[in-house]
Structure formats: C-alpha cells, structure tokens
Amino acid sequence: MEINGGSQNPMTLIKFGAKEGILITGGEYWRLLTPIFLHIGFYHLLTNSIGLFIFGRYAETLFGKKSYLTIYIFSGIWGNIASYFYSFALGAGASGALFGIIAAYASYLISNRESLGEYGRQTLTGIILLIFINLIFGFTIDGVDNFAHAGGLFSGLIIGWILSPKITSEIVSISSEIPTFVEKKKSIPKSQSTWYVLIIITIILFYVSINWISQNFYIRLLTN
C-alpha cells in the first residue's frame, strides 16, 4: 500500500479494499472482510500487531487454530458491519477482530470461572479494565472507529462463549508403590457439529444484516 500511494491515502485504501459505505451498498460486500487485513499508517499496524501477538497466542492455544480463525474473521466482519451501519466513513484495520479475540478469551474465563478460580477472576478483571480503557480512549480520540470495536467485542463474546472449551476435572491414579490419586484438569473442545452450526447461522445473519443495512443506507445518508 505504501508503494502504491500510501496506506493513509483514501484512494489507495479504497483500491486495496477498505470499508466504504456507498461501494458496499452497490454490491461490494467483500469490503466487510478485506479491511481486517488493512491498516492506516505504520502506528495503526504496530499497535494492532502487538495486541494480536499478546492475546492471539492465548486464544489460539485455548480454542485451537480452526476456532481461533473463526473468531478472528467473524468478529472482524461483525465489527465492519456495525461500522457500516453507524458510520459512512472510510474504514480499515484489525481492531474489531482483535477486540473479538480479547472478548472470546474473556468468555472462556467466564465459562470456566469455577475451574480457574482466583487466576481466572484476576485475569478477567484485567481484561475488562483493558477493554474499558480502550473504549474510553477511542471516544476521546478522533479517527477511531468505536462502532467496529463494539461490533467485534460483542460478537467475540458470543462466538467465544459458544466455542469455549470446557475445563473438567477427573481423579487419576499415579503408578507407585503406594496407590496415589490426584485431581487432573483437562480441556474438552466443543464438538464439530457446534462449529458447523455456528458457521451456518452466522452466514445467514450476515446476509440478513447486510441486506437490511444496504436497503436503508441511502435513506440514512440523506437524513444525516
């Protein structure tokens, strides 16, 4: 993007697939996906990359590669749909997807709060504080797409709750001269059928939401 005019140039952003309301309404629905992989300037790319490096590793380890990718892509799209509904501005960035990853991690901690104990509560408190600070920061700084953040956040909470592995405990024996039994915790992933149902329902909701927003886009544009 920098070679082709600059990643902060509006025309370059549009050329590479940024979110743009009129073009989406005209049928370029792929623009709700491609902005996840674009960034506006080096600082934007750097901050999101740091966040993804920190939280992405946890989420990928906990959920598995397939569910992690599902959370990332779907949260990013829902973030762009929310932005498309509330804002006509040009948009790009992985922030919505990143908020989705963080929210999914929070869902994992909530759904396994009894098994994770104090560690889970402290970690969840830290995540809630981090999300709150970022949302407040977004509302006080121009150019931050808080609607994309909110869309990614709420969708990440829901998808993460659906796909969160469940921690269970079992008593196992240790081979030794004296019979010894210990409690062992293990993580049980959600079934394949849950993942398939989530994919189908989400695609249907994508279609319904985008179709409704597109039908009302120009009406909202004229009234604003």
Task: Provide the sign of the torsion angle of the four alpha carbons 92, 49, 44, 100, taken in this order.
Answer: positive
Q: So which residues are the catalytic ones? A: 95, 149
| C-alpha distance across the termini of the chain, in Å | 32
Q: What does the block give as tokens for 83?
A: 């932005």
CA distance 92 to 34: 8
CA 106 from chain centre, in angstroms, equals: 12
- Report the run of H or E that residue 168 belongs to, with start and end: strand 166-174
Q: What is the DSSP letter of 181?
A: E
The residue among 162, 166, 169, 165 whose CA lies nearest residue 202 is 162
Coil, helix or strand at residue 185: strand
